[in-house]
C-alpha cells in the first residue's frame, strides 16, 4: 500500500480506527461499500459534534465516496458526499485547527465539490486551495498535502488561480517527497494528458499501477491515454 495512504491510515489507527477497508473500496470503486461505511461512521459524528476525531473520520469517508462518484461520472452523488464531508471537515477544523490533516481533507472535499458541480461549484475554489495551503504550512514535508493541492489546482480554472500547469508542479513535488505515492503518479499522468503529453502521461499512470495494481481508476485512465 502506498505511503500516502499509510499516513492517513496511521491517523485512523491512532484513534482506534482502521481505514484499510475504505481504501480497498475506493480502489475497486465499490460505491455501495463506501456508503455503508459512511453510514457506520455518521452516528458517532452526529452524537457528539464536538468530537474532532469522529468528524474527521466521517469527512474522510465522505471524501472517498465523492472520489469514486467522480470517477464513475455520478455528479449528484459526488456533490452530496462532498457537501456532507465539508460539513464534518469544517467542524473538525474548528475543533482542532492545529491538525494539518483536518485542513487537507477540507480542501480536498472543496475540490471535489468543484468537480461535482461544474461551474456552479467554482465558489469552492478558494476553500480548496486555502485549506490545503494551511495544511502545507502546518506540515510542509507531507506529500499527500501537495497531492491534494494539485487536485485542487487541477479542478480550478487558471483564470481563478488554478490550472493544469500548477497542478503538475504540485504532483511532482508530492513525488519528490514520496517516490512511492501512487496517487501522485496517477494524477500527474492525468494532468500531463490534459496538456498534450500522452507519452509522459502513460509513463506516470503505468508507474501508479506498478505501485498500486488494485486501483481500478488507474487502469481506466491508462486505457484512455493514447499512444503516439
Contacts of residues 12-21 at CB distance under 8 Å and 24 or more positions apart, as own/partner, are 12/57, 12/60, 15/53, 15/57, 17/57, 19/57, 19/60, 19/61
Q: Model confidence over 153-209: pLDDT tens digits?
A: 998 888 888 899 999 999 999 999 999 999 999 999 999 999 999 999 999 999 999
On whether the CB atoms of residues 134 and 110 are closer than 8 A, the answer is: no
Contacts of residues 202-211 at CB distance under 8 Å and 24 or more positions apart, as own/partner, are 202/227, 207/182, 208/182, 208/183, 209/182, 211/2, 211/180, 211/181, 211/182, 211/185
Residue 139 dihedral angles phi and psi, to the nearest 5°: -145, 80
- Other Cβ atoms less than 10 A from the Cβ of 20: the count is 13
| CATH domain 3-166 topology | 1.25.40
Q: Model confidence over 216-228: pLDDT tens digits?
A: 999 999 999 988 7
- pTM of structure: 0.89
Query: What is the domain partition of the chain in residue ranges?
Result: 3-166
Q: Model confidence over 201-221: pLDDT tens digits?
A: 999 999 999 999 999 999 999
Residues sharing a CB contact under 8 Å with residue 7, sequence separation 6 or more, in sequence order: 142, 144
Distance CA 63, CA 81 (A): 7
Q: Model confidence over 15-69: pLDDT tens digits?
A: 445 678 999 999 999 999 999 999 999 999 999 999 999 999 999 999 999 999 9
Amino acid at each position: 500500500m502506498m505511503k500516502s495512504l499509510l499516513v492517513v491510515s496511521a491517523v485512523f489507527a491512532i484513534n482506534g480506527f482502521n481505514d484499510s477497508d475504505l481504501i480497498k473500496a475506493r480502489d475497486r470503486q465499490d460505491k455501495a461499500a463506501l456508503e455503508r461505511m459512511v453510514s457506520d461512521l455518521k452516528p458517532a459524528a452526529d452524537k457528539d459534534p464536538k468530537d474532532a476525531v469522529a468528524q474527521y473520520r466521517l469527512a474522510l469517508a465522505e471524501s472517498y465516496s465523492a472520489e469514486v462518484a467522480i470517477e464513475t461520472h455520478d455528479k449528484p452523488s459526488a456533490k452530496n458526499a462532498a457537501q456532507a464531508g465539508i460539513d464534518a471537515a469544517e467542524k473538525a477544523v474548528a475543533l482542532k485547527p492545529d491538525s494539518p490533516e483536518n485542513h487537507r481533507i477540507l480542501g480536498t472535499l472543496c475540490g471535489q465539490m468543484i468537480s461535482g458541480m461544474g461551474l456552479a461549484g467554482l465558489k469552492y475554489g478558494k476553500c480548496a486551495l486555502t485549506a490545503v495551503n494551511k495544511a502545507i504550512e502546518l506540515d510542509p514535508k507531507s506529500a499527500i498535502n501537495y497531492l491534494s493541492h494539485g487536485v485542487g489546482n487541477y479542478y480550478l480554472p487558471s483564470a481563478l488561480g488554478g490550472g493544469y500547469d500548477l497542478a503538475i508542479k504540485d504532483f511532482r513535488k508530492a513525488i519528490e517527497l514520496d517516490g512511492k505515492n501512487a496517487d501522485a503518479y496517477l494524477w500527474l499522468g492525468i494532468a500531463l494528458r490534459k496538456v498534450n503529453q500522452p507519452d509522459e502521461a502513460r509513463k506516470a499512470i503505468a508507474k501508479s499501477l506498478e505501485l498500486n495494481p488494485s486501483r481500478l481508476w488507474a487502469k481506466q485512465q491508462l486505457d484512455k491515454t493514447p499512444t503516439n
